[in-house]
Amino acid sequence: MDYPANPFAWALLSTVLTLMAGLILYVTRLNLRLRHSKRVLENEIGERCRAEEKLAENENRLRQIIASEPECVKLQTLDGILLEMNPAGLALLEAGQPGDIIGTSVYDMVAPEFRDEYRALTERIFAGESGVMEFQIVSLKGRRRWMETHAVPLRDGRGNVIALLGITRDITARKHAEDEVRLHYRELAHAARVNTMGEMASGLAHELNQPLAAIANYSRGCLRRIRSGGGTVEDLTQAIEQVCQQAERAGGIISSLRRFVNKEDSPRQPQDLHAIVREAMLIAGPEVKLHQVDIRLNLAPGMPHVLGHAIQIEQVVLNLVRNAIEAMGDVPPGRRYLTLRTYVAEGKAVVEVRDTGSGLPREMQNRIFEPFFTTKSAGMGMGLPICRSIVEAHGGALIPLPNPNGDGLTFRFTLCLADEEEIDG
């Protein structure tokens, strides 16, 4: 090979060769880097595909779980628009297809009287809380059903609440069962009141006899004076006033008894506890006299109203008073003290019925609330279980407490105050 003789040409050739070699090296490196990037990209794409497949698989699994979930699962917006609902939910609402429900407002389904409470629950969920609520729905076919919903916030990746997630179950059967239990309990309480009246009949007849006998006496006196022409108008007026007073007394006793045995109680509302206690003591009056019991009423002045059913509370007081009187049967008459005390403690009204009777052996303390447990020959053993049910249905508690000095027993029960503010007042 002939090399250029010209040194300039030689230098040019060598530069060109060097550049070419550099270029080849660069392209080779680029090629390698590109291949590497391709491999990385292929791996990434593969991974992403696998992750997406997994995600789709998970989503599918989750959808299947939700779809087969026997409870209604739903997602809704703050203003109540339904975003998702599973088949169980659609069935509850008697919807033929998702399109009948999705995109509509939940408030079309919530029964009108529960809408405000439901709206408040939704607002709480979007504020980040969770909540439970019982309410009624009206299905697309116009049927009402009781529901219980457990609602929680559904959040996005940044923690913002994006929907209300509600799991709702049909509690209609439970609600009906509760209504029946309530009805049975009311009927049992009523039967016990009628039974109490039966047991007290002779004493009450005697109590009623007194004003009736007085009326007969005063009337006969009036007649005598009228017939004999003696007696002034003033005498006659006084006698007739007595007749009126005694008739009112008899009428008062009869209306108390009628109220007491009435099946329908007054509605649950604020009640004057002391008026109820006095009414119970009026009915217990004949037995108190018969057994020569010394009654001490220690009623707290300014007692706030309690919330409840007047006759049921009266039934509890009368039952405890009658038990106390019976428990003092073996105590000599001069030592039969029955103290009825009321006061307010820890935001509740407290009633205590204390006797100086036989007391209660420790082993019997739990048994006395068992139905049909009695130590009396003619006892039924239903008084205290009914009293406890009544008190607990009123949000209170009934307990026996041995007296500190060891003689006799105290029954204490609590009742809710009608208005918390009254505690301070």
Binding site for ligand ADP (CB under 6 A): 323-324, 327, 355, 357-358, 360, 368, 373-376, 379-384, 409
For ligand ADP, the closer of residues 271 and 319 by Cβ is: 319
**Smallest separation (angstroms) from ligand ADP to the CB of 338:** 9
Nearest to ligand ADP of 207, 355 (CB atom): 355
Smallest distance from the beta carbon of 193 to ligand ADP, in angstroms?
Answer: 13
Which residue is nearest to ligand ADP, using beta carbons? 383
d(CA 29, CA 36): 10
CB of 253 to ligand ADP, least distance (A): 24
Closest CA to 381 of 364, 394, 393, 395: 364
Nearest distance, CB of residue 204 and ligand ADP, angstroms: 18
**Quick check: 415 and 308 in contact, CB under 8 A?**
yes
Whose Cβ is closer to ligand ADP: residue 85's or residue 360's?
360
Per the CB < 8 A criterion, the answer to whether 145 and 116 are in contact is no
Nearest to ligand ADP of 219, 374 (CB atom) = 374
Smallest gap, in angstroms, from Cβ of residue 379 to ligand ADP? 3
CB of 252 to ligand ADP, least distance (A): 27
CA distance 209 to 246: 10
Measured from the CB atom, the residue of 104 and 374 that comes closer to ligand ADP is: 374
Considering the complex, state which of residue 285 and residue 359 has its C-beta at the smaller distance from ligand ADP: 359
* 76/356 with CB nearer ligand ADP: 356
Euclidean distance between the first and final Cα of the chain, in Å? 123
Q: Which is nearer to ligand ADP, 151 or 360 (CB)?
A: 360
CB of 247 to ligand ADP, least distance (A): 34
CB-nearer residue toward ligand ADP: 168 or 356: 356
C-beta of 371: minimal distance to ligand ADP in Å?
A: 8
27 vs 399, beta carbon nearer ligand ADP = 399
Closest Cα partner for 410 from 342, 333, 339?
Answer: 339
Distance of closest approach, residue 383 Cβ to ligand ADP, in angstroms: 3
Give min distance, CB of 208 to ligand ADP, in A.
Answer: 24
